[in-house]
Structure 1
């Protein structure tokens, strides 16, 4: 079926999608979350975080007043999206340890500032890609660690998570270098 209601013998996914989807204005953070070189599961998790739809302690408390709302990573504050990414001492250490060569040492860890940097980019295309990918990888690693602790697994030290993220990002750069040729040669040098 077409948008005007006529039937058609062929099927086009794009036309079907246009008919069934609800159109909304493009949000400002879109290009910082959905970018070409992103890993889809990381993008999706960041999309949920950008919409503030992750089941953080403050949201769980709204559904169940007996739920634990304390941060599982630092046990010091109410777990909100902004606290978890990256106002919490643990997640801040992981974030700063991961992006130590990309951004200034004293740069902000506020969610709104980081999203602004995701959207507007940093110095150049390679640094912007690395920053965006680091952001998504760290958000994913922090969320994974938080959930692991929540179900009783032993806490991982921040240094171990940082090493894991460094290897993950190096592997991603290597895969892009193989696929995209020289376009990402500078990324490994920058990293």
Structure 2
């Protein structure tokens, strides 16, 4: 009959109005009864615009309910708040979001539609390039990550991507430590992806020492801005960062 098993009476009556003929007598009777009810409703009630929502149909439009009907529902990720956090740098956060979603155009993904492409990592020139390798199993990127975070993480230091995501998602971590770790991760991801693309397009690579200094300086500038703007709780942010340098 073209009616979903879980459909309400309202939804059944508002389906395609073409009269159907069935071999089964009971189905024809149901069809006739539904047509009678629909006809009675058309006669006794004025036509009104109805908006579909999660619980059926309503006369008032709700952008919120319409959005939830249109979007594809997925399991909520546990790392979103560690990517989109207060005082993050938008361009850094965007690259971090792509990396966490595994949507960056790393060579393992490119070879899926271009099997002939060279999948070797352009930073270390040793292993095939993937998200997990580039961040931070690669010998080049691992040096940057260790330089930035070894003094923050100490015995918890790791260069395994999934473990890093788990660590930065810990809301129980102290505020300055959590911010510096998350910001350092995003600054490192942005710098490494920029360096990777630069080499990929035949530009001269930067020495790892220069990359370290550039990213470290960017983090110090961010903390200095927070202090100069008198952001509450960040008067000693720069001192904390210096205390983690080993």
Q: Structure 1 length as normaliser, TM-score?
A: 0.87
Is 1:112 equivalent to 2:162 in the alignment? yes
Counterparts of 1:150 and 1:144 in 2: how far apart (Å)?
10
Give the corresponding residue for 1:168. 218
**How much has 1:181 moved relative to structure 2?**
2.5
Counterparts of 2:186 and 2:239 in 1: how far apart (Å)?
20
Counterparts of 1:168 and 1:80 in 2: how far apart (Å)?
26
Partner SS state of residue 97, structure 1: helix
Is 1:26 equivalent to 2:26 in the alignment? no
Give the corresponding residue for 2:99. 49
**How much has 1:134 moved relative to structure 2?**
0.3
Give the corresponding residue for 2:129. 79
User: Is the 2:149–2:157 Cα contact (8 Å) retained in structure 1?
Assistant: no
Gaps of 5+ in 1: none
User: Is the 1:145–1:156 Cα contact (8 Å) retained in structure 2?
Assistant: yes
Gaps of 5+ in 2: 1-50, 242-246
Counterparts of 2:209 and 2:89 in 1: how far apart (Å)?
23
Change (3 A) 1:53 1:7: same
Counterparts of 1:131 and 1:154 in 2: how far apart (Å)?
29
Highest CA radius of gyration, 1 or 2? Answer: 2
Which shifted more, 36-45 or 58-67?
Answer: 36-45
Which shifted more, 96-105 or 145-154?
Answer: 96-105
**TM alignment of 1:111-130, pairs within 5 A:** 111-121=161-171, 123-130=173-180
Counterparts of 1:122 and 1:136 in 2: how far apart (Å)?
20
User: Is the 1:73–1:146 Cα contact (8 Å) retained in structure 2?
Assistant: yes
Give the corresponding residue for 2:108. 58
Counterparts of 1:71 and 1:26 in 2: how far apart (Å)?
31
Give the corresponding residue for 1:152. 202
User: Is the 2:135–2:161 Cα contact (8 Å) retained in structure 1?
Assistant: yes
Change (3 A) 1:29 1:123: closer
User: Is the 1:33–1:132 Cα contact (8 Å) retained in structure 2?
Assistant: yes
Question: Could you list the per-position Cα deviations for residues 88-135 of structure 1 after superposition, in whole angstroms to 9, with x for gaps in the alignment?
Answer: 000000111122431217821000110011101574111100000000
Change (3 A) 1:129 1:63: same
Partner SS state of residue 184, structure 1: coil
Number of corresponding residues: 188
Give the corresponding residue for 1:90. 140
CA-atom RMSD, angstroms? 2.4
Give the corresponding residue for 1:69. 119
**How much has 1:144 moved relative to structure 2?**
0.5
Question: Could you list the per-position Cα deviations for residues 40-77 of structure 1 after superposition, in whole angstroms to 9, with x for gaps in the alignment?
Answer: 22111111111111111111111101111000000000
